[in-house]
Amino acid sequence: MSDSSNPDEPTVTSSPYAAAERAKKARIAGDGASAVSREGEGGASSKRPSISFTPKAAALVTSFCAAVALGAAGIIAAVVYEKGPCAAQCPDGNCGTVDLDVCNGDALVAPSSIPGIVVMLGLAAVVVGGWPEAARIRNPRLARGVLSLVAAASALAASAGYESLAFVAAGSIFLCFMAEMLRKDGRENLLGSVSATFLGSILIVASGFWPLLLRNYEAGAVVLAGMCLLIGGLGRYASASDASSSPARLIARSFFYSFAGGAIYLYVTGLGFETRSFAWLAAMALAFGATSGLADGAARSRVAPTKAGAAALAVVPHCALGVIVYALSFAVS
């Protein structure tokens, strides 16, 4: 006997609610079948020779390259500052900002922010390419469109000042909601999708503060941050294991490696461990430890992370430290 003839539920089976429930059950059953299929594929692929470029390797390579690029940008900016045509007029660095090739009165030629913009665009490209997968956003194509627009606007705003970046951050909220309104899949997990897309936008905006730091004569702070990110990232992935289950342990581990990297830099360069440099180092290492620890905790919840998603999670500290270091420089200036 069919369900429609069941006297116990004569109206429920014909109602729109029942149809929606049947569709939901069918979708859940389909997801379960696909999960089993993926599991079977994973079991079959596990017998094959493993490739050398795993998601962990992708994260390690991305973190390393981003840190090296950031340190190189700071060094280039310092060289431009020392070799600038007006550098001798204001050796203490407290001068106005003018064009690189022109002196205006007693103004000092500012370090070029172009290397910082290049690094910022590189970080933004990694976030755009992998963040929708890392955050499991339901509408990855629309999310990448929003993140691409935010990246372009941030690159332009970085040449104008932090106020412009604040406007970009505010405008990204509107873009995130507009993208959700364009979805045609029923807008499932609406709040989570908006939040994840906006978080990716904030990471891109935060990376836009690196060019501002180079423009404001903080090349030394950028190089120090690059060294913290370099050694911190190497230690972060070299010691990564499933046994590191505690978030506090993840944060402490990343803090230790980052602090060690910055301490090596201060010692080798002869900058010493005076109060100001030590405070800078401690703040950067703590910020790296917190952001990388949280990102690692999120990465461990992914059953099968992709290379792009792992790379995006790897550069979370590189992006976040842009606004953190800028805030530090603004506080102590």
Q: Where are the domains of the chain?
A: 3-45, 55-332
The one-character DSSP state at 266 is H
Per-residue pLDDT averaged across 248-266, rounded?
Answer: 89
Per-residue pLDDT averaged across 67-75, rounded?
Answer: 93
Question: Residue 113: which of 220, 212, 223, 226 has the closest Cα?
Answer: 212
Q: Distance of CA 276 to CAs 111, 126, 221, 225, 287, Å? A: 22, 33, 11, 14, 17
pLDDT in tens, 282-322: 989 999 999 988 888 777 765 556 889 889 999 999 999 99
- Res 257: pLDDT: 93
Per-residue pLDDT averaged across 43-72, rounded?
Answer: 72
Confidence of residue 259 (pLDDT cuts 50, 70, 90): very high
186 φψ region: left (φ > 0), alpha (ψ -120 to 50), beta (else): left
Four-residue CA torsion sign, 82, 87, 90, 91 = positive
User: Is residue 112 within 8 Å of residue 76, measured between CB atoms?
Assistant: yes
* Strongest mean pLDDT among 17-21, 49-53, 55-59, 329-333: 55-59
User: Is residue 130 within 8 Å of residue 309, measured between CB atoms?
Assistant: yes
Per-residue pLDDT averaged across 267-286, rounded?
Answer: 83
Identity of residue 63: S
Per-residue pLDDT averaged across 175-188, rounded?
Answer: 77
What pTM was estimated for this model as a whole?
0.75
pLDDT at 94 > cutoff 80 = no
Confidence of residue 26 (pLDDT cuts 50, 70, 90): low
Q: Which residue has the tokens 């429609």?
A: 4
The one-character DSSP state at 111 is P
Residue 299 burial (CB count, 10 A): 22
The one-character DSSP state at 15 is S
Burial class (CB in 10 A: 0-12, 13-18, 19+), 61: middle
Question: Residue 158: which of 119, 211, 112 has the closest Cα?
Answer: 211
- Res 114: pLDDT: 85
Confidence of residue 260 (pLDDT cuts 50, 70, 90): very high
Percentage with pLDDT > 90 across the chain: 30
Per-residue pLDDT averaged across 154-167, rounded?
Answer: 84
Which distant-in-sequence residues (6+ apart) come within 8 Å of 281 by Cβ? 224, 228, 259, 262, 263, 266, 273
pLDDT at 242 > cutoff 70 = no
pLDDT at 19 > cutoff 60 = no
Of residues 5 and 145, more confidence is placed in 145
Percentage with pLDDT > 70 across the chain: 69
